[in-house]
Amino acid sequence: SQQGEEDPQALSIQEGENATMNCSYKTSINNLQWYRQNSGRGLVHLILIRSNEREKHSGRLRVTLDTSKKSSSLLITASRAADTASYFCATANAGGTSYGKLTFGQGTILTVHP
Amino acid sequence: DGGITQSPKYLFRKEGQNVTLSCEQNLNHDAMYWYRQDPGQGLRLIYYSQIVNDFQKGDIAEGYSVSREKKESFPLTVTSAQKNPTAFYLCASRPPGNTIYFGEGSWLTVV
């Protein structure tokens, strides 16, 4: 079963606007990761946030984590047409080994119009 | 170049036929994974392997088989028992405790 659920399923914005995607999960986690997938390609890792962290930044990306609500958000600021892709959250369950499997959500399809 | 290589990129399977998808990595990662992705959907775990000669079923292992005879290689066989195999298949590898690295994927279509 899917651990993470992204919201919204699809998001359409204009270039320069900010895009916010949310992810909810059900069980305790060690970390939560966000990945990007261009159409028909493999996934690329964007950012990892550990369960004891609340916010993390990487370039135009900002990720927050609220373990009390079991939710995370990914903010892309000043979006570009090249940001058009699907974005997935993935969770590593607490108590698992460092090789433990990641569970992916259904993804948010982001379209940025020039 | 270091990375994960999946082949073939496109594969067609006839009814009742077994096919094997190749996955090779030169990242020296112990753990390897196979995911299935249906159009517009997320990833579902088929099988994963933490070390050579060991692997575990994921959430949707029925109709699939794997082997892990070498650290670099984790081939996936889609058997005739998999009734709906048309999908995008992603192989991945992972170092301890860190992020997962994906191949470019293989498209499998039943004809």
Give the pLDDT confidence score for residue A100 in this predicted structure: 61
Interchain contact B5–A (C-beta under 8 A): no
Q: Which residues of A touch B100 (CB under 8 A)?
A: 33, 43, 45, 90, 102
The closest CB to that of B42, out of A33, A101, A106, belongs to: A106
Is pLDDT of A101 > 90? no
> Is A83 or A101 the better-scoring residue by pLDDT?
A83
- For tokens 């070390």, what's the residue? B51
Give the pLDDT confidence score for residue A97 in this predicted structure: 56
Q: Which residues of A touch B106 (CB under 8 A)?
A: none
Q: Do A88 and B59 touch (CB under 8 A)?
A: no
The letter for the amino acid at A94 is: A
Helix, coil or strand: residue B15: coil
Give A71's contacts (C-beta < 8 A, 6+ positions apart). Answer: A22, A23, A24, A25, A65
Give B88's contacts (C-beta < 8 A, 6+ positions apart). Answer: A40, B36, B37, B38, B39, B105, B106, B107, B108
Q: Which residues of A touch B44 (CB under 8 A)?
A: 2, 104
Give the pLDDT confidence score for residue A1 in this predicted structure: 35
Q: Are B79 and B94 in contact (CB under 8 A)?
A: no
Give the pLDDT confidence score for residue A68 in this predicted structure: 95
Q: What is the pLDDT of residues A8-42, one digit of tens each?
A: 999 999 999 999 999 999 988 888 999 999 999 99
The letter for the amino acid at B9 is: K
Give the pLDDT confidence score for residue A102 in this predicted structure: 82
Is pLDDT of A2 > 50? no
Q: Are A110 and A7 in contact (CB under 8 A)?
A: no
Give the pLDDT confidence score for residue A50 in this predicted structure: 92
Q: Are A90 and A105 in contact (CB under 8 A)?
A: yes
Q: Looking at A70-74, A94-98, B9-13, B91-95, which range is the least confident one? A: A94-98
Q: Which residues of B touch A40 (CB under 8 A)?
A: 88, 105, 107
Helix, coil or strand: residue A114: coil
Instruction: Give pLDDT tens digits along chain B (111 positions).
Output: 569 999 999 999 888 899 999 999 999 999 999 999 998 788 999 999 999 999 999 999 999 999 999 999 999 999 988 889 999 999 999 987 668 899 999 999 988
Give the pLDDT confidence score for residue A4 in this predicted structure: 66
The residue of A1, A31, A104 whose CB has the most chain B CBs within 10 angstroms, and thus the best one to mutate to test that interface, is: A104
- For tokens 């390897």, what's the residue? B32
Give A113's contacts (C-beta < 8 A, 6+ positions apart). Answer: A12, A13, A14, A15, A81
Smallest CA–CA distance, residue A90 to chain B, in Å, is 10
Q: Are B4 and B95 in contact (CB under 8 A)?
A: no
Give the integer Cα–Cα distance in Å for A75 and A92.
21
Q: Mean pLDDT, to the nearest integer, of A69-81?
A: 97
Give the pLDDT confidence score for residue A69 in this predicted structure: 95
